[in-house]
Amino acid sequence: MADPSQQLPPGWVAQWDETHQRHLFIDTSTGQSQWEPPTYDQQPVIDNTQAAAQHGSKRRQYAAGSTQAYYGAAAPAAYGDPNAPQGAGTFFTPGEQQQQQQQQQPAAYGAHDASQYPQQPAYGQTPQMQPPQMGGYAQDPHVGGLTDQFSQMGLQQPHGGFGGQKGYTLYTTNLIGTYLDPRDLLRPPPEIRLPPGACISQSPSANADPSYQRCTLNAIPTTSSLLNKSKMPLGLILTPHRSLKEGDDPVPVVTDQVIARCRRCRTYINPYVTFVDGGARWKCCMCNVSNEVPQMFDWDQQRNQPGDRWSRAELNNAVVEFVAPTEYMVRPPQPPVYVFLLDVSTQGVQSGMLATATRTILESLERLPNADDRTKVAIIGFDVALYFFCIPPGSSESSMLVVSDLDDVFLPKPSDLLVNLTEARAGLEALLGRLSDMFNDTHHVGSALGPALQAGFKLVSALGGKIIVCSASLPTLGQGALKNREDPKILGTPKESSLLQAADVFYKTFAIECSRSQVSVDMFLFGSSYQDVATLSCLPHYTAGSTFFYPAFTAARSEDAIKFAHEFGEILASPIALEAVMRVRASRGLRMAQFHGNFFVRSTDLLSLPAVPLDQSYAIEVQIEENITTPFVVFQTAVLHTTCDGERRIRVVTHAVPTTSNISEVYASADQIAIATLLANKAVERSMTSKLEDARDALTNKLIDILGTYKGTMTSAGSGASAQLSISENMKFLPLLTLGILKHVGIRQSSQIPSDLRAYAQTLLTTLPSELLIPYIHPTFYSLHNMPPEAGTIGEHGVILPPPLPLTSERLERHGLYLIEDGQTIFLWVGRDAVPQLVMDVFELSGYDVLKGGKTTIPVLDNPFSQRVNAVISKTREMRRGPYRAHLYVVKEDGEPALRLWALSSLIQDRSEQTPSYAQYLTQLKEKVNGSSYS
């Protein structure tokens, strides 16, 4: 074959590629490469980002709201490891040369205030830059960036045949030796780049915020074969009933009861439909059916005059609530109902649980949702019998009725057991004030939880509502009686997974019966002995409730009482949504395949949620059933529910995502946070249906598949062995997050984890929203003794936090003070050589020797350092959504071994027990990837 370089246009060179046995043609002026021989009339390809910067106002405009929600979001700047070699093993370093100040958006996580750090682009949204020189690898200068050049082939062409759409630029990172800045986890997901004209609104909120709904891929493959080839998981992470923090925009409400829906697929009108026939009809963005615009759609009912269609909330906002007309009601909206089941046995009284629970309920009566004075309340006590409390309206007196028949539960009185909160307020307050004292001298040991649940269900089944259980001992009497089945011999063995499955079918069947009657169950479990959390958590799992677990609880320790009272009070005061059903619709070709979370699947894709708790998350796996021919697809979540105020509403969350036929764009658009959330849910399900070992293997194998396919399709190494472990820049944390799941209490290999702790950890893994889940599997690590002078002080956006550190004990100094937290627990690590002045300033003690480790409360002292440390601790407790309040433990470097190992297990980049360090894990992954064939 003749030398092709003799026939090339000026500026082009031909490079022989040994792997593919063909010439690669490289434009030396731009660094772009291609397999096809260039022609003399071929113009150099200009990078999208550079072109935008060069042309300024002429940059291509995109549908407002569909890209602005993610474009240019504020996020942490790169945090370089002073000990790491600069540029080693990294092909590109996005974020080093930020030359434009983009509009500020909230970070994808509420864990830190992103405004504390310099601005950075979202993944996949690259600033102006020149590719830096690669270090650490001897390569031909013309092939130095071969990996990224090869992955970008075709990226600058119109997307998948849909002209005018901005493509994703792929940047490859070598994971081996690359420093991971924890602040990069705060970056927004890759920008959603919809084609021009996809959205009819210019509103920045026309596409769903990631805190409501996010997809594992922000560019959906057009075919299932492309998705399968990439090995990437496709799924949605939903938090439709998200709480509002300061600065969050409230969800707009459409009150005129004019609801436009597609007559074929029942999609709600949204910013991605198109109007045709002069605006008289609208075309559905999912099935393309033309629908009539409702007559009152353009009428302002409040002012009784023609309205502005383009100002309607549903055409400008991705998240909106409709006030539902009567045809959306099976029955009139029911009042909020709360039935409290309180364990009054010896364990419940002696631990202080009963006193703390009754005091919290008493203090929360004013906070219970009761805007229209319809809320109803009942209290039932249980030990070896059932205790009902009759509270006549308007009276401050109450009477107790005892039912000892546990085999045939009945209500001893037809009325005055479930009472109106407003009418019986005086009697309720008097009862709650003395209820704990009524059982102070009890000697009953036993728990009739099953019969108590049946009694509560009889009270509430006609109306629906919430049953809130506070249980301090294992159920031993009547229906649902359980035995202590924990066997230390099988912990850490394949048989351990049996302890994570329900022991008695009663709880699942009872939960399904509750779900049919719109009854939700919340479980608050206490005690120092076995509780069988795995079985009892079935109730919240199938009734859309919540589970809370307090091992070794004693109210005599103020930290325990404060944590329970805070979380219990938050649940009571939260504005829950009742009698809900949820359905997720998607564009043609997509199907919701698998559901994860707390609900009951009523039909193929209809989820029943008797209550929708604030900040509870759901994960859905998506399948591509047929080829997608549209330039973008739409996912729409609809939650029909009753508010606490007795109003029937439909919350609609609309999420538009572009499609692609380019595998490199699939990788460049991947959302590593959503992927980790989905993998955590799948791992928990696998551990219960199979074995824990299978769940761990499935996690690692999925990661190997992704890395191997990426290496085979996106890098010059192809199917050959490589000294590198390559992944796209936007997924560089995925191996570490996967390792965090593998090392988590709910999943990790260990013979020392009690099954109750493991089962509770798994309930959190499947219900926490991404904002809380990521720190739960990748804790936050601060150095306090040498934090910057502004850390712990009040800044423009609240308390300024120190910069987070990598999760490795290499950062621990013997004289230091550190904070490690995962949203559930805070560790304050004190080095053995901590100077007396530091111990005095923080703990008001003379020195390290007199400091005691364990659960505690840090005093607020009259010195600046104490106030800064307390400010950081308070900020870490307050900054995330959800009802949880983290315990604080002081850990001495040479203190109690069990506590010390517990704290060190949070440093997931270190080796611990039978799990490898992060560096060892990467080596294992590289060996597996090199030993397999991917193409």
| pLDDT above 90 (res 6) | no
Instruction: Report the candidate in 638, 668, 631 with the shortest Cα–Cα distance to residue 199.
Output: 631
User: What per-residue confidence (pLDDT) applies to 7?
Assistant: 64
Give the pLDDT confidence of 754-791 residue by residue, as tens digits: 999 999 999 999 999 999 999 999 999 999 999 999 99
Q: Report how far apart, in Å, the C-alpha atoms of 772 and of each of 110, 615, 677, 756 are.
A: 8, 9, 10, 21
Q: Tell me the range of 42-56, 150-164, 330-344, 717-731 where mean pLDDT is highest.
A: 330-344
Q: Are 786 and 816 in contact (CB under 8 A)?
A: yes
pLDDT bucket at 51, cuts 50 / 70 / 90 = very low
The DSSP letter of residue 269 is P
CA angle 769–771–776, rounded 5-degree value: 85
| pLDDT above 50 (res 124) | no
- What one-letter code names the amino acid at 414? P
CA angle 440–445–447, rounded 5-degree value: 105
Averaged pLDDT, 108-114: 39
- The beta strands (E) that lie in 417-566 are given as 419-420, 465-471, 519-527, 547-551
Give the pLDDT confidence of 743-755 residue by residue, as tens digits: 999 999 999 999 9
Residue in the block written with tokens 């209500």: 411
Give the pLDDT confidence of 187-238 residue by residue, as tens digits: 999 999 999 999 999 999 999 999 999 999 999 999 999 999 999 999 999 9
| pLDDT above 90 (res 565) | yes
Instruction: Flag whether the pTM goes above 0.85.
Output: no
Averaged pLDDT, 561-570: 97
Helix or strand (DSSP H, E) at 690: none
| pLDDT above 80 (res 59) | no
What's the CA gap between 62 and 815, in Å, rounded?
54
Residue in the block written with tokens 């500026």: 11
| pLDDT above 80 (res 411) | yes
DSSP SS3 for 772: helix
User: What per-residue confidence (pLDDT) applies to 603?
Assistant: 86
User: What per-residue confidence (pLDDT) applies to 934?
Assistant: 59
Give the pLDDT confidence of 361-385 residue by residue, as tens digits: 999 999 999 988 999 999 999 999 9
Q: Tell me the range of 76-90, 128-142, 432-446 where mean pLDDT is highest.
A: 432-446
CA angle 248–251–256, rounded 5-degree value: 155
Give the pLDDT confidence of 897-910 residue by residue, as tens digits: 999 999 999 999 99
Helix or strand (DSSP H, E) at 386: strand 386-390
Q: Are 166 and 48 in contact (CB under 8 A)?
A: yes
The larger pLDDT score, comparing residue 319 to residue 56, is at 319
User: What per-residue confidence (pLDDT) applies to 29?
Assistant: 60
| pLDDT above 70 (res 587) | yes
The larger pLDDT score, comparing residue 122 to residue 366, is at 366
**DSSP-H helix ranges across 520-635:** 533-536, 538-543, 558-573
